[in-house]
Amino acid sequence: MVAEFARSRSLGLGGTGARIGHLLDGERIFGYVLVAPAVAYILLLVGYPFAIAVWFTVSNATTARPIAEFTGLTNLLAVLDDDIFRRALANTFIFTITSQALQMVLGTILAFLLLQNFRGRRIARGLIMIPFTIPIAIGAMAWTWMLNPTYSVINWMGVHAGLFTEGPNWLGEEYPAMISIIIVNVWRNLPFSAVVLTAGISAVPQEILEAAHLDGANWWVRWRKVIVPIIAPILYIALLFSLVFTFTDMTVVWLMTRGNPVGETHVIASYAFQTGVVAGSLGRGATMSLFLFPVLLIGAILLLRNLKARTID
Amino acid sequence: MAVLAQRNVSHSRGYRLRKVRNKVLFWVVLALFIVFACFPVYWMFITTFKEVNDLYNLQNNPLFFHLPPTLDQVRYLFEKTNFSIWVENTAEVGFVVVLITVLVCVPAAYVLARSRFPGSGGLSMGIFLTYLVPPTLLFLPLSQLVAGFGLVNSKWSLALVYPTFTIPFCTWLLMGFFKNVPKEITEAARVDGCSRLGAMFRIVLPVSVPGILTIVIFAFTLAMQEYVYALTFVSSSDEKMITLGVVTDLIRGDVFFWGSLMAGALIVSIPVAIVYNLFMDTFVRGITGGALK
């Protein structure tokens, strides 16, 4: 005992420090104590609010009157009956899937370009990363200005290149607004796809590719049968994250169109914000937000399975 | 013989032609990608430094300056808006978020990366999955929780809430750094009589300083560019952080102060863009939970 005390003393821990150090020395206790603050924070500010969100969906809470009564499925039925919400639900899927598909195709092309050996590659890479590195709210604002009904620089260029005589009111009409939102999502996330794909492709052993080449496989076969199977696990995780972030984002829609014209460009998240925060109907808003949850849950389960499979290897 | 040589020449000319064509195609496609990526930033830049008369003159080619560049819009941003207050708020809130994140993440990441105890695997998965929970799922209940803490319309509500996403992200990043410190070193120290806590503070943390600095940078920049929680919890101009202030306060009614708005946008973007460009690979590794090596 004395020897132990002396030893911890010599390591510079004071008397109390030594006692705490001793108490913490069991691997189990040490582990639980050190991980406790993180778990507590997450339980208090993620777990508990989630429980409140579930309670909101079955109650008639409003910002003016947060203590509410149980109202059962009233919110759910009202939300399902809301035309704008149904449109928002469809839009969420349209925006997510379309931009993801474009990102994958363009990201693959971009990855192959960036894998070439050319002078100025680092600079090119840095420039291409820019959309992903600036805050999304700022990027959305820059695009809003570029698509301004009167001063749109895109329309100016289009008119002067002879593409159209006037150009659409990008954010004021249904389809142009939807296209604008998809373009901004692609603009923002393309660098991420490209980085992931570049890292994946460059990890494919060169010998395997050469062997396939010698066996007469053309680039498409090499891509489909050699590269994709090897990079699939990475691709899968990156895709999952990218999907979840696009699916749950409201920033682009809120800043660019605010769901207009007449609610045609809302996504789940932006309409939940409109209903829950702007209009103050906590119950309805939370019910809408909770529609994001099944997708998150599926994403989480897929991720877990993938990560487990990898830790076993 | 002559015929053979002829064929050889034409073959190599065709080959060379194809090579040139490929090269041109390569640069054209690359240039298109770069223009797509960078044009909005160029547009921010040119809007920031244009005279108002030039900016809103539809007769002018909008891509270039027609009157000499001016600092008026930047000056307006600093003198006529709360921009400097937003910068202060960002520094204060960012500091607290970083502090909470480091204090919570360092111990958690340390044990999750280096010890095995019942539930450690599940806990690290759980923390990782928390990162998937988006602000748009929790902003309504959190606004009530924030009210419960007496932080309605206060920047400190953000300092309380932002660690919910910085903690999972930074814990996973740090776990990667801690795993790279060989187990043998701490084992040797333990044999020499060092406590577990002592081994952490005296052996592993000193060599993990770069990792800790990385999470400091990420925690700060993640907090700095957040928008959804900020929009939900804070409405007074003098409580805003920089990103929210720039995208909400330079719009008065229907009038957008585009010059100053883009000036603010540029000022916010440049530091963040530089940091993320430098740490891109680390950032992607953090997002994908180490799937990319």
Q: Characterise A216 by phi-psi region: left (phi > 0), alpha (psi -120 to 50), beta (else).
A: left
What type of residue sits at position A205?
P
For residue B107, give the nearest of A37, A109, A113 by CB distance: A37
Q: Based on the domain organization, do B235 and B193 belong to the same domain?
A: yes
The per-residue pLDDT for range A162-218, each reduced to its tens digit, is 888 888 889 989 999 999 999 999 999 999 899 888 888 888 888 888 898 888 888
> Average model confidence (pLDDT) for chain A?
86
**A–B: how many Cβ contacts below 8 A?**
306
- What single-letter DSSP state applies at residue B69? -
Q: Based on the domain organization, do B202 and B120 belong to the same domain?
A: yes
Q: Based on the domain organization, do B237 and B149 belong to the same domain?
A: yes
Q: Based on the domain organization, do B182 and B262 belong to the same domain?
A: yes
Stretch 69-98 of chain B: residues touching chain A, C-beta under 8 Å: none
What band does A28 get if pLDDT is binned at 50, 70 and 90?
A: confident
Tell me, yes or no, whether B195 lies in a domain: yes
Domain of B22 in residue numbering reads as 2-70
> Average model confidence (pLDDT) for chain B?
88
Q: Measured between beta carbons, which residues in chain B are less than 8 angstroms from residue A156?
A: 61-62
Q: CB distance from A34 to chain B under 8 Å?
A: yes
Chain B residue with minimal CA distance to A6? B193
What is the Cα A27 distance to its own chain's centre?
A: 36
Q: Measured between beta carbons, which residues in chain A are less than 8 angstroms from residue B117?
A: 27-28, 31-32
Could you give the ipTM of this predicted complex? 0.88
Residues paired with B255 in a beta bridge: B252
Q: Based on the domain organization, do B203 and B260 belong to the same domain?
A: yes
Q: Is pLDDT above 50 for A9?
A: no
Q: Measured between beta carbons, which residues in chain B are less than 8 angstroms from residue A134?
A: 41, 268-269, 272-273
C-beta atoms of B108 and A286 within 8 A? no
What band does A225 get if pLDDT is binned at 50, 70 and 90?
A: confident
**A181 contacts B273 by C-beta, under 8 angstroms:** no
C-beta atoms of B136 and A273 within 8 A? yes
Q: Based on the domain organization, do B85 and B201 belong to the same domain?
A: yes
**A246 contacts A100 by C-beta, under 8 angstroms:** yes
Chain B residue with minimal CA distance to A238? B288
Q: Measured between beta carbons, which residues in chain A are less than 8 angstroms from residue B241?
A: none
How far B270 CA sits from the closest chain A CA (Å)? 8
**Which of A119-128, B93-102, B188-197, B269-278 has maximum average pLDDT?**
B93-102
Among the three residues B53, B70, B87, which one is the final residue of a domain in this structure? B70
Q: Based on the domain organization, do B28 and B102 belong to the same domain?
A: no
Q: Based on the domain organization, do B51 and B169 belong to the same domain?
A: no
Q: CB distance from A35 to chain B under 8 Å?
A: yes
Among the three residues B34, B55, B70, which one is the final residue of a domain in this structure? B70
Q: Based on the domain organization, do B150 and B201 belong to the same domain?
A: yes
What band does A11 get if pLDDT is binned at 50, 70 and 90?
A: very low
Q: Is pLDDT above 80 for B201?
A: yes
What band does B61 get if pLDDT is binned at 50, 70 and 90?
A: confident
Stretch 234-263 of chain B: residues touching chain A, C-beta under 8 Å: 243-244, 246-247, 256, 258, 261-262
The per-residue pLDDT for range B225-270, each reduced to its tens digit, is 999 999 999 999 999 999 999 999 988 877 888 999 999 999 999 9
pLDDT at A182: 96
User: What CATH number should be reported for the domain holding residue B159?
Assistant: 1.10.3720.10
Q: Measured between beta carbons, which residues in chain A are less than 8 angstroms from residue B292?
A: 196, 199-200, 234
The per-residue pLDDT for range B64-104, each reduced to its tens digit, is 888 889 999 899 999 989 999 999 999 999 999 999 999 99
C-beta atoms of A52 and B161 within 8 A? no
For testing contact with chain B, the best of A8, A16, A134, A241 (most B CBs within 10 A): A134
Domain boundaries, chain A: 2-57, 74-312
Tokens of B197: 């806590």
What band does A7 get if pLDDT is binned at 50, 70 and 90?
A: very low
How far A215 CA sits from the closest chain B CA (Å)? 22
Tell me, yes or no, whether B39 lies in a domain: yes
Q: Is pLDDT above 90 for A287?
A: yes
Q: CB distance from A107 to chain B under 8 Å?
A: no
pLDDT at A2: 43
Q: CB distance from A170 to chain B under 8 Å?
A: no
Q: Measured between beta carbons, which residues in chain A are less than 8 angstroms from residue B104?
A: 37-38, 41
Residues A85-98 have a mean pLDDT of 95
For testing contact with chain A, the best of B86, B172, B197, B268 (most A CBs within 10 A): B197
Q: Is pLDDT above 60 for A65?
A: yes
Q: Residue B256: enclosing H or E segment and its boundaries?
A: strand B255-256
Tell me, yes or no, whether B293 lies in a domain: no
Tell me, which fold does domain A74-312 have in CATH? MetI-like fold (1.10.3720)
Residues B144-166 have a mean pLDDT of 93
Q: Which residues, including other chains, have CB under 8 Å from residue A134's CB and lie 6 or more apart? A: B41, B268, B269, B272, B273
DSSP one-letter string for B99-163: HHHHHHHHHHHHHHHH---TTHHHHHHHHHHHTTS-HHHHHHHHHHHHHHTT-TT-HHHHHHHTH
For residue A146, give the nearest of B33, B43, B116 by CB distance: B43
Tell me, yes or no, whether B292 lies in a domain: no
For testing contact with chain B, the best of A25, A138, A266 (most B CBs within 10 A): A138
Residues paired with A24 in a beta bridge: none
Q: CB distance from A8 to chain B under 8 Å?
A: yes
Q: Which residue has the tokens 């060379």?
A: B16
Q: Based on the domain organization, do B53 and B12 belong to the same domain?
A: yes
Tell me, yes or no, whether B38 lies in a domain: yes
- Total of domains in chain B: 2
How far B2 CA sits from the closest chain A CA (Å)? 32
Q: How far apart are CA A146 and CA B121, in angstroms?
A: 48
C-beta atoms of B197 and A20 within 8 A? yes
Among the three residues B70, B91, B107, which one is the final residue of a domain in this structure? B70
Q: CB distance from B160 to chain A under 8 Å?
A: yes
The three-class DSSP label of residue B197 is helix
DSSP one-letter string for A90-130: HHHHHHHHHHHHHHHHHHHHHHHHHHS--TTHHHHHHHHHH
Q: CB distance from B277 to chain A under 8 Å?
A: yes
Q: How would you class B190 by CB atoms within 10 Å of its CB: exposed for 0-12, middle for 13-18, buried for 19 or more?
A: middle
